[in-house]
A and B are shown apart, each in its own frame.
Chain A
């Protein structure tokens, strides 16, 4: 049986210029050009800070998830700080602060 296709979660980091704009725009453009379903959030940090109930849904289920945001350590503990377990074994974090849009899209839109 083939591996299930990972769900895609993209963080826009809208409250700050933390992530290079060119990278986040290019990744979003490519997602929009693809035929994939995906989830996007305006700012994971903000959701974590206010313990937005939707943050618990984002990692629900048992399928793999690819999160396109920033550093793995930051993303993992942001979920934790919102009271959500971070299932390391099925979550991959792609870092728009370090990786290029091209590298990220290659992994996400295979």
Chain B
């Protein structure tokens, strides 16, 4: 993710020293804060989760009906900012404004649901119980979402490069190991995988034959002949034509949803040079993973 600014961790404190909130107020405050991107923990008399050691530098804001006696809160980790706010008598709107005002001091760029420019968390999640490290996904994705770790195991490395609402790589995975939890239907959304799903996906996996002798075939071609063909195609016109051809093929294949393709501009697709670079890297990785 691009930014590392986190919204406050909110604690709705209803334990010792505070009066319980009326149900309706508790519900409204919790729901509104969640819908704005905050995490909210409700603490009642029984104590709840051990919050004595909150992580990182994420500030904590404790809200409660303290009736004028806000407790002093200290943290073992002195660098963590913990604030207490007495919300006695305040309505939901005022409470939210108060939280938002505090947050304003944390700087711009928070990813808040519903706000303009918010990033919808859309990215592939790999089920390693199923993945066989075949690297089809890595070779398929044109946007460098995938990479490998030190052990040469496939991983998702650049999740914010992923095209929102595009589940294409999950459809080329022969093991049905790639999920998009926010996808509408199974097994891509994480539903259990049926044997029929595996059979269907395996049929689709030959990307080379699916897309014919163009961009994806070139990804897999390691011969000098292919390199020389690419070097001849370096003129801007040829490169653009190549991309257009690829887009048309992808459109026809139905693998990438039409609305996602419509948003892709040709310039955002990698150039043949980049594809060639990726093909070389991929061949190297696969050789290393096989060895």
Contacts and interface: CB of A to CB of B under 8 A. Distances in A.
Nearest to B191: A71
Interface string B56-77: 1010000000000000000000
Contacts of B58: 53-54
Contacts of B39: 39-42, 47, 54
B267 interface: no
Contacts of A71: 181, 186, 189-192
Given A42-B35, A74-B179, A77-B126, A36 B49 contact: no
A32 B33 CA distance: 14
Given A38-B48, A71-B190, A29 B27 contact: yes
Nearest to B43: A37
B44 interface: yes
Given A40-B41, A46-B111, A97-B189, A54 B9 contact: yes
User: Which interface class (under 10, 10 to 19, 20 to 34, 35 or more) fits B?
Assistant: 35 or more
Contacts of A41: 34, 39
* Dominant secondary structure at the B interface: loop
B160 A49 contact: yes
Nearest to B187: A73
Nearest to A36: B44
A99 to B, nearest CB: 13
B118 A38 contact: no
A50 B4 contact: yes
23 contacts: A14-B35, A15-B182, A25-B31, A32-B42, A35-B44, A36-B46, A37-B44, A37-B48, A39-B40, A39-B41, A40-B42, A42-B35, A42-B113, A43-B121, A46-B37, A46-B121, A53-B55, A54-B39, A56-B55, A71-B192, A73-B192, A77-B127, A77-B190
Interface of B: 1, 3-4, 6, 9, 23, 26-27, 30-31, 34-50, 54-56, 58, 111, 113-114, 118-121, 123, 125-128, 156, 159-160, 179, 181-182, 186, 189-192
